[in-house]
Amino acid sequence: MRQAGRYLPEYRAMRRRFGFLELCRNPDAAAEVTLQPVDRLGVDAAILFADILLIVEPLGVGLEFAKGEGPVIRRPVRSERDIARLGRIDVEAAVPFVFETVRRVTQALAGRVPLIGFAGAPFTVASYVVEGGPSREYLHTKRLMYEEPEAWHRLLELLAEATARYLNGQIAAGARAVQLFDSWVGVLAPDDYRAFVQPHTRALVRALTPGVPVIHFGTGTAALLPLMRAAGGDVLGLDWRVDLEAGWAAVGHDVAVQGNLDPAVLLAKPPYIRQRVKDVLDRAGGRPGHIFNLGHGVLQETPVEHVRALVEIVHELSDRRSR
């Protein structure tokens, strides 16, 4: 995850030429960034370069990427009145550049490895729109859920419907699998997830093109894993805060899991990385359906040679290539 990022000198060079949103909107540049890790690292799949908030721009919430701050919503949505003003998102008109990027990457890959598309899950995207950016406590989000539940559900219905069309557009353009990032849903209690999130995520997953694998990922979600499984997905992403075997048992061995090395391990030297990779593989126990991955995205401080070493170690220690 976060294959393309500031740890790569090639990516930093692109960012000196393009602002973040400008880079996302330029299919040639976005395709180049998507392909950089495939060529440099030898990974088994490419991951689309885009951003989870691109589809909210038509809502008029004032999306910006401020230097050093990340995504900022200048006009957050925090009341029933605010939500009532939001119209249906015309995904096809809003993000044609994303679909064109997928087409160009698919053509360039020529079947070498599959391309994974992605989107933000309704809760995580809503939390940005409500909070105005990242948060530690998500108090505006929770207040809206608790005090104005009808408005909250309208917001998530709008986002779920748009996200389904966004992912289906990526699939139609060539993505072989899609990942749904619910990065911030771990701030919720299980009862709140069940009442305020699960129905919308389930509706989204059910609206996706049949037969295309769906990876459902969140962070800090050890207590939510059975509920996330019930919401849908062919693969459940596990972060590093849960033992892999415990997480897999929580969702059931009839689904695949992805994970779950702590990204900070890649700051250590390769001998230690090797030890920790072996730990993850041992916990997977050789069962079919384990996709080795980090428990979240590559950190910008990570040496490129350590990420390359990780890929080589996984290939060596797993029996993926011997079957």
Q: What is the pLDDT of residue 321?
A: 43
Give the whole-angstrom CA distance, residue 170 versus residue 108. 16
Residue 51 identity (one-letter amino acid)? D
323 has pLDDT over 80: no
Q: Is the pLDDT of residue 180 over 60?
A: yes
7 given a catalytic annotation? no
Angle between helices 304-317 and 270-284 (to 10 degrees): 40
Residue 283 has pLDDT above 80, yes or no: yes
Residue 300: C-alpha distances to residues 4, 5, 8, 181, 205 (Å): 10, 7, 8, 19, 31
Give tens-digit pLDDT for 228-282: 999 999 999 999 999 999 999 999 999 999 999 999 999 999 999 999 999 999 9
Q: Which two tokens stand for residue 244?
A: 């892999």
Mean pLDDT (the chain, rounded) = 95
Catalytic residue check, 6: yes
Mean pLDDT in residue range 171-178: 98
Please report, for residues 174, 228, 240, 288, the alpha-carbon distance to residue 258 in angstroms, rounded to integers and kept in the order given: 22, 14, 11, 12
> Active-site residue among 11, 128, 138, 193?
128
pLDDT in tens, 55-110: 999 999 999 987 766 799 999 999 999 999 999 999 999 999 999 999 999 999 99
The pTM of this model reads 0.95
Residue 51 bears catalytic tag: yes
Strands 63-66 and 70-73: antiparallel
Model pLDDT, residue 322: 44
Query: What is the reported pLDDT for 319?
Result: 66
Q: Which residue has the higher pLDDT, 321 or 84?
A: 84
Please confirm, yes or no, whether 154 is among the known catalytic residues.
no
Domains defined for the chain, CATH in brackets? 9-237 (3.20.20.210), 261-323 (no CATH)
Share of the chain above pLDDT 70, in %: 98
Q: Which of 7, 11, 51, 193 is catalytic?
A: 51
3-class state of residue 178 by DSSP: strand
40 is catalytic: no
